[in-house]
Structure 1
């Protein structure tokens, strides 16, 4: 009987201690009472993914849009709209470059348009958006442009710690991506070799031109450029960085947009004569 009394007494002591601890926590000002929090506005992408984010846009002769989203963090939805003012911040970009030893430059104002830098989070809503229309033809593929935005102020809410976002704008053409290649190279006088399902990456040079390894010679720095013409024929030329500068068409070279396949016949000059290549490169 005494053992049962001791057990009950111990259990009661634990309950009393727990209630005391809970009471002290509620009185402790180190604990935030979210019920009384003021509405805050933030870039949700910055909160979840960090300040620096890359926006990949397909090269186009017309402007290409992307969306900037601002989130409202509050205990309950608001019955009135919230106006959020954004600003382009060179200071934010300078701070990022200094902290990360990078050299990004601000996106030129001639390379994009917006309807303004003010957006509205409607009543009874959590998010508001702003559309940025980018002139991709004004952005070289090698450019390191960033659009740095900050929430400068808001009506009906306060900017929180996630009030800065840096969008790195990268332009790619429709051919940019991962491919599998099958091909044959013929080497005079009588040697040949083949490759099957060889992984290749086409990287954007401009809206119609991409760069990739020639044949199976990437490790030898044989790099070619593929320009898709208006009639879907393809012009093969050497990259300026290629170890061989004689790469050129040698028969039918075309692109099939329905299957996203390059069918190529090209050649380059070697010590024993022209090396001829027949190859198909299909997007994965």
Structure 2
């Protein structure tokens, strides 16, 4: 009986070895242990269109001191090397041209004066991933300019360079008003029960150096937004966006309830009664306190503020 058991065990072992050998020879299975090291930009592993992978650097604050962002550089290998590797990158203007051509865009090469970087990084022995630092002189960049910094690995320090070697970094700088704001004020609505105080946090985001976008009161979640310009202390140039009715059915207001609509409120608030007056909410900006005082409204099908059944008195204070 024992002899039979041993024979069966030996046969099963031989079969297992044969199957394992077959799997190792199967071209569907890749043995990475013998792979050559590759130098890559891991962020470039997405789908490239044109000259390389396109990546937008998060909005950078406009500051007097340079703002840094990191470019990860990776040594792709089964094991870290025992010696350091120095990797060099360069600005690849041709990659940006190819991207613009392939995608119908018109991005501009970032001026050399607007950033600084050694464009060289050393991966220490025993490590795989390091960051190349790029310092952006945000104070020299006009907010929302379409600048791109295209970087390509040009020297792998003796190691093979991966196909993932080019990233086009879109650099966008915030304007002076881009921030989260605490909103207070009032929304007057002709539908019973729909009028109420405005509270909460609302974002003002960059469009250009002077143009910003924000939500219509508490309706941002429903797609009601608008663009506006800030020049000194003056807020103007209402441009409806998203679900907001097209002008002149929406816009800034200069009078309190000029259409004489009836508003039923639970706290007695009424447009034109302090504190909700056009003289207080006068479409201005105070740079010292970073405060917007806005008065606007809309009415579907209306031809001006006399038809604005929804009227907003909004105070925005930067957080």
TM-score of the superposed pair, with normalisation by structure 1 = 0.69
Say if 2:24 is the partner of 1:26: yes
User: What CA distance in whole angstroms lies between the structure 2 residues aligned with 1:264 and 1:12?
Assistant: 87
SS in 1 for 2:118: coil
Say if 2:74 is the partner of 1:71: yes
- 1:127 to partner: Cα distance: 2.3
The number of aligned residues is: 266
| Structure 1 residues 158 and 176: alpha-carbon distance in aligned structure 2, compared to 1, 3 A threshold | same
| Structure 1 residues 184 and 85: alpha-carbon distance in aligned structure 2, compared to 1, 3 A threshold | same
2:273 equivalent in structure 1: none
1:45 equivalent in structure 2: 43
Say if 2:62 is the partner of 1:59: yes
- Is contact 2:213-2:225 (8 Å) kept? no
- 1:70 to partner: Cα distance: 0.3
1:243 equivalent in structure 2: 247
- 1:178 to partner: Cα distance: 5.7
| Structure 1 residues 37 and 16: alpha-carbon distance in aligned structure 2, compared to 1, 3 A threshold | same
User: What CA distance in whole angstroms lies between the structure 2 residues aligned with 1:205 and 1:221?
Assistant: 13
2:121 equivalent in structure 1: 119
2:141 equivalent in structure 1: 139
SS in 1 for 2:156: strand
- Is contact 1:251-1:266 (8 Å) kept? no
| Structure 1 residues 222 and 47: alpha-carbon distance in aligned structure 2, compared to 1, 3 A threshold | closer
Residue from 199, 203, 228 that aligns with 1:224: 228
| Structure 1 residues 84 and 193: alpha-carbon distance in aligned structure 2, compared to 1, 3 A threshold | same
Unaligned runs of 5+ in 2: 241-245, 255-277, 298-303
1:37-85 CA distances to partner (integer Å, 9 max, x unpaired)? 2221111222379732210212223332211120112232222211112
Residue from 264, 267, 274 that aligns with 2:293: 264
- Is contact 2:186-2:197 (8 Å) kept? yes
- Is contact 1:39-1:156 (8 Å) kept? no
- 1:177 to partner: Cα distance: 5.2
- 1:126 to partner: Cα distance: 1.6
| Structure 1 residues 281 and 124: alpha-carbon distance in aligned structure 2, compared to 1, 3 A threshold | same
2:301 equivalent in structure 1: none
Structure with bigger strand share is 1
TM-score of the superposed pair, with normalisation by structure 2 = 0.63
- Is contact 2:153-2:165 (8 Å) kept? yes
Residue from 91, 94, 107 that aligns with 1:91: 94
1:83-102 CA distances to partner (integer Å, 9 max, x unpaired)? 11212223333444455x34
SS in 2 for 1:87: strand
1:35 equivalent in structure 2: 33
User: What CA distance in whole angstroms lies between the structure 1 residues aligned with 2:100 and 2:11?
Assistant: 58
